[in-house]
Each structure stands twice: as structure tokens, then as C-alpha cells.
Structure 1
Amino acid sequence: MARKADVRRLDELQAAVTEGVARLGRLDIVVANAGIVNYGRTWELTEEQWDDVIDINLTGVWKTVKATVPTLIEQGEGGSIIITSSVAGLKGLPFLAHYASSKHGVVGLARVLANELGEHDIRVNTVHPHGVRTGMNDGALNGLLDEAPNLGPLYMPALPYEAADPEDIAAMVAFLASDDGKFITGSQLRVDLGAVNR
């Protein structure tokens, strides 16, 4: 079952969860993966850029949690919440102040939730990809890095790959959701090609 919903709209998320549980019988895994990105020098970002990225990437995750956690608790059988963060959630990547703030924010949110939900056997973790071939990047970052070449190395991975495929990230999400990850909570799983180490 698939439903279109805006993560900025709690009512739409709650309706999707209610319908899904009614049709499928239960909820076990929540993956908060919606996100957007754009680029600019921190002081040149527009208010609209800042608000849109924070609203979708951070507040949207909180609303996803708000729409799903009561069902997980009520079921009384545990569960797993996986939030997609980014290398930018662990590093101060230039030209991404709004994005990095949102992705650092979901790490804090996940750490709090891991503590609050532990007694219910609900695990909460974040996944931190480097670049992923999703079509989300419009290439605008390259122009900014051309203007500030000294900042380019902050984006370089250690492994000899430019980006991961969505399936590579999905495999890590599936691991955290599975019984193999049953003792992992409050963690930040880096699928970053070694970029955080650079």
C-alpha cells in the first residue's frame, strides 16, 4: 500500500498510518527518509530556503515520529525507527548550513527518542550516507566549490567511489530494522565511503 503525504502535514501522516494499520494489521518499522537539499553560502540563503529544508528534513521527521510512535507503544511489541541523516549530520559541510542543521537535528532527536522509547523495546537509529544516486543533487554545489576550491576536500570520501546507490542505503536500513540489529539503538550508522574520517 502506498499513499502520498506531505511530511509537513501531521494530519496527512496520521491518516496514512491509520489506514496502513487498518489494512495491514500492525506497524513494526518506521523509516523517516523524506528530504530536500539546495545550496548556498550561509548568509546568502533565503528565508524560504532555510524554512523549507528545516520544515521537511527536521520538523517532518518529528511529525513522522508523532504520527507513528503511539501505535508502536500501544502494540506493546517493540519496533524500529530509522531516520535518514547524512554525512552533513556529522560534519560541517560548507554551503549546507540549513541542510546540515536539519541533519544534525535529527541525530539529536534520535538520541532522545532512543532513551525515551527504550523501555518499550523500540529502537531508534540514524543512517548517514555520503552522496547517493537519487537525482536530488542538481549540480549547483559544483559551482560553489569551483569558487572555493580549498573547501572541496571536505566532501571527498576515502573510498574510491563517487556515490552509493539507493539499494546500498536500503540494505543498511533493512539491517537496522531486522533482528540482527535488535541490540542497536541511539547509533549513527555511517554509510559514508569514509568521508567523515577525512
Structure 2
Amino acid sequence: MAVVTGGGRGLGRAYAEALAAAGASVVVNDVDRDTAAETAAAIAEKGGRAVAEPAAVGTAEAAERLVARAVAEFGRLDVLVANAGVLRDRVLWKMTDDDFDTVIAVHLKGTFTCARAAAIRMREQGEGGTIILVGSPAGQRGNFGQTNYAAAKAGIAAMARTWSMELARARITVNAVIPVAATAMTDTIPVFAPYIEAMRNGEPLPAFLRAGEGFGTVEDCAALIPFLASDAARDVTGQCIGIGGDKLTLWSHPQEISTAFAHGGWTPEAIADAWHTSVGAEPQSVGIPAPRAPEAR
């Protein structure tokens, strides 16, 4: 029995349909009532079990309502997929408080409130469970024009690591998936836009995108969700797992990669003297690399 937030369209719909195909009963949440109902009906038409529960995630009340609906309809909650999200892309000096607050409220607080409500219920049931958070390459590496989104997704990755420790004793796994797919959100990323447009005009995505960049359709990302909810993944927790196109990846956790020491501590002058030949010799890159066709490499 699963809850999928933002499950009415795009990646969320693909996740809900994949869980239903694997035998799960699904509460399809979406801020749009008609979209949620359409997805639930499509699942039912294929022989699955699904109900729609429209709500704007972010508040404790909305999260508790989703969990309560799963329990009322299906008797329990085994899986949460915290997928709901919005975009308000602008560069730093043009981003408004509302742009920032809206994205943080839906992505970060929405993930927190839904995961908290799910964890409470799963711990009460005493039989373990699966919490799947949805991150982004922007949260792993940053992305131009996405201060709010990148910050929220970075926070989601950190929450997955933290909650995997806190919920281990209750046998509840927590992971973050890092999907890369043609969606309304990736439409806003200029490097992907031409390929998405071509795909929607009937052209297949090129192999260098599907394999080399790990970029494909929402359906390409869906298989990871029922895997993480299955017995085969009971020992998988605290991970950031990427999927897209033909590619499956494991993202590293942040860690120290270079170290220098100064007996008695550092001064600004000593750091300046040592930086380029020690810790700062190989600075880390930032941003999502632009896809490049083979002939451009």
C-alpha cells in the first residue's frame, strides 16, 4: 500500500503506475484534483487498485490526510514516494521571497511532513516500510537559475541519509532517487530542451543521451521505485540512486577529498601559500554538464 505525492503526471504518474503494476494499492496525490483522478482511473482500468487524494503538500495536515486515506482504503501504509514539486526558476538577484518560499515549502517541507507522517504510521505498524524521496542532479551539483530548487533537493538528499539512520531500528528504509527524464521540469533546462522537443515530435532520443547522459522518458525512471519497495532492497538505505534513460548510478556522499595540516593552526597567509599546491590543487566542478553529441566531444 503506497502513497505517491505529485502522482498525477510526469514522473509521479510513472511511479504510481509502476507500483500498481507490481501489485501495490496506491493513493495518488496531486494538487490538481482532475489529474489525480485521471491517473487513479487509468491504473484501475489496467486492473490495479488506486484512489485519488488531491492536496497541496507542505502542511502537516495534508500529510496526515494522505496517510489516513491509505489506511482507510487499504488498511495500512507500506511505501511513501515523496515526489511532489514545483519550479520558480530565476537567478539569485531576481529571485523573490515568494519564489524561494514556494519551492522550499513544496519540495523540502512537503517531503519532511509527508515522511514524518509515514514514519509515524510505519513505526506503529511495526513491520518496517519504505520511504522514497525524490532528489535531482541540481541538488547534487547545483544548477544555474535554481537556487531554491537546488537547495531543496540538496536538503532532501541530506534528509535521506539522516532518516536512514533514525529509522533503521524500525526496519524502514529511506533512499533518495535522482531521476533524469523529459518532464515539464526539465523543459526549463536549456541544454535538454531541444532534445525533448524533438522527442515530442516523434524523434527518438539519441543513444549518447540515453546511455551517456542517462536521459530518457519518465517510464525509464519508474523501475527503481518498485525495486526499492521490494524485499530485494531491504538492505538498501541511506543512498542517492540515479536513474534515467539506459543508465543506473549510485551518487557519492559528500566527503573530504584533500587535506593539509599546519602545526598550531592556520593563518590566512598560510592558507594562501598552501592552497594551490595542496587542498585547492584540484577544485571540484559545479553544475549539470551540458549534453554533448559524440562528434562534439
Which TM bucket (shorter chain)? 0.7 to 0.9
Residue ranges of structure 2 left out of the alignment (5+ in a row): 1-50, 194-207, 252-287, 290-297
The root-mean-square deviation of aligned C-alpha atoms, in Å, is 2.6
Q: What's the counterpart of residue 263 of structure 2?
A: none
User: Can you list the C-alpha shifts for 1:121-169, whole angstroms capped at 9, x where unaligned?
Assistant: 0000000122x22323454x439x9xxxxxxxxxx96835683222222
Aligned to 1:134: 183
- 1:9 is aligned to 2:59: yes
Question: SS of the counterpart of 2:111?
Answer: helix
CA distance in 1, matches of 2:109, 2:209: 29
Per chain length, whose mean CA-contact separation is higher, i.e. which structure has more relative contact order (CA < 8 Å, sep 6+)?
A: 1
How much does 1:29 deviate? 0.6
Query: How far, CA to CA, are the matches of 2:62 and 2:229 in structure 1?
Result: 24
Mapped partners of 2:78, 2:214: distance in 1: 34
TM-score (norm 1): 0.84
Question: Is the 1:87–1:192 contact (alpha carbons within 8 Å) kept by the matching residues of 2?
Answer: no
Q: Which residue of 2 aligns with 1:118?
A: 168
Deviates more, 1:165-174 or 1:56-65: 165-174
Indicate the SS of the match to 1:186: coil
Q: Does residue 52 of the first structure (1) align with residue 102 of the second (2)? A: yes
Match of 1:191 in 2: 243
Q: Give the 5 Å matches for 1:67-146.
A: 67-130=117-180, 132-139=181-188, 141-142=189-190
Q: Output the amino acid matched with 2:163.
A: L
Query: Partner of 1:32 in structure 2?
Result: 82
| Offset at residue 14 of structure 1 (A) | 0.9
Residue 116 of structure 1, CA deviation: 0.3
- C-alpha contact 1:110 1:126 (8 A) present in aligned 2: yes
Letter in 2 for 1:92: G
Larger Rg: 2
- Residue of structure 2 equivalent to 1:148: none
Report the Cα distance in structure 2 between the residues aligned to 1:121 and 1:90, rounded to whole angstroms. Answer: 27
Aligned residues: 185
The normalised TM-score by structure 2 is 0.57
Tell me how far apart the structure 2 counterparts of residues 160 and 113 of structure 1 sit (CA, whole Å). 32
**How far does the alpha carbon of each residue in 1:76-95 deviate from its partner, in whole angstroms, 9 at most, with x for none?**
00011000101112102211
Aligned in 2, Cα 1:119/1:162: closer, same or farther, shift over 3 Å?
Answer: closer
Whole-angstrom CA distance in 2 between matches of 1:129 and 1:116: 25
Aligned to 1:166: 218
Q: CA deviation at 1:113?
A: 0.5
CA distance in 2, matches of 1:142, 1:89: 17
Q: Distance in 1 between matches of 2:136 and 2:68?
A: 29
Structure 1 unaligned blocks of 5 or more: 146-155
8 Å Cα contact 2:214/2:243 also seen in 1:
no
Amino acid at match of 2:231: D
Question: Residue type of the partner of 2:94?
Answer: E
Sequence identity percentage: 34
